[in-house]
Amino acid sequence: MAESSPTARLAVLGSPIAHSKSPALHRAAYARLGLDWEYTAVEMTGDRLPAFLEGLDASWRGLSLTMPLKQDVLPLLDEVDELAQLTGAANTVLFEGGRRLGFNTDVGGIVRSLAEAGLEVARTAIIIGGGATAASSMVAIAELGVAHVRVLLRRPEAGAKLVDLGRSVGLIVDVDHLGALAHAGPADLVVSTLPGGTDTGSEVPAELVSSALLLDVAYAPWPTPLAKWWIEGRGRVIDGSGMLLQQAFLQVRIFAGGDPAAVLSDESGILTVMRSALRS
């Protein structure tokens, strides 16, 4: 285990942040590991982030980042991992040796949550939305073997960066207006990165509901308007709680072991207590 203060401090930063389940997840994990670590939630915006980072002392071990900070943090870091560099988004900061190290665990969180739902290989996909989570989704679906992806946006002209990202990981990418969802054909996977409660304003074809697993990264309120189409059509749908759990688990590996690939002792037990915390 990487050396750190016996009472290391960590936090999740974002806005809004009061609803975050990250403190409960992380506290459960560190208690299971026997670490007396503090993990809190801090309301934070991008303009305040530089001063906040400068004000942290040596007791701080790391940070989890959510909207709107995953991209704002990049120029403030000393080093970023390959996934953070590729997606242009870091959701994790590790303080080690006086340096700020950035990681993206959203990609791994998506892949692991889909595997838990029984989807480990896919060929066609649809991504709804164009923010940092959409970028992570693009890389994640490439890991599943997807060859062709459609990106649906309210403003298709804003999709250039996602197109470039998709092509860089070997995908054929088409961008269309969100309204094209009403005419979408069958697919293996649909990933919605829209905020919870957002209505796409489109009907969803029955053949898409019956063919595709829907991962809606929202989890509150649930079900989302989009998820209702899958539920009413008896399709396969999972909310974002699994992604939240799995990306947090990879963060625990980083904070406790220094690397998202560092295998910790009793990982099954850690995941069990984290799941319990997520449900409570």
pLDDT, tens only, 100-118: 999 999 999 999 999 999 9
Least Cα distance to 239 among 260, 214, 205 occurs for: 214
Q: Note the pTM of the prediction, 2 decimals.
A: 0.95
261, 251 Cβ separation under 8 angstroms: no
pLDDT digits 0-9 by tens, 36-59: 999 999 999 999 999 999 999 999
CA-to-CA dists, residue 200 to 73, 162, 176, 181, 233, angstroms: 30, 20, 13, 8, 17
Q: Where are the domains of the chain?
A: 9-105+248-279, 118-235
pLDDT tens by residue, 151-188: 999 999 999 999 999 999 999 999 999 999 999 999 99
CATH code given to domain 9-105+248-279? 3.40.50.10860
Topology, domain 118-235: Rossmann fold (3.40.50)
Same fold, 9-105+248-279 and 118-235: yes
Report the catalytic residues: 70
**In the predicted structure, residue 3 carries a pLDDT above the cut 70:** no
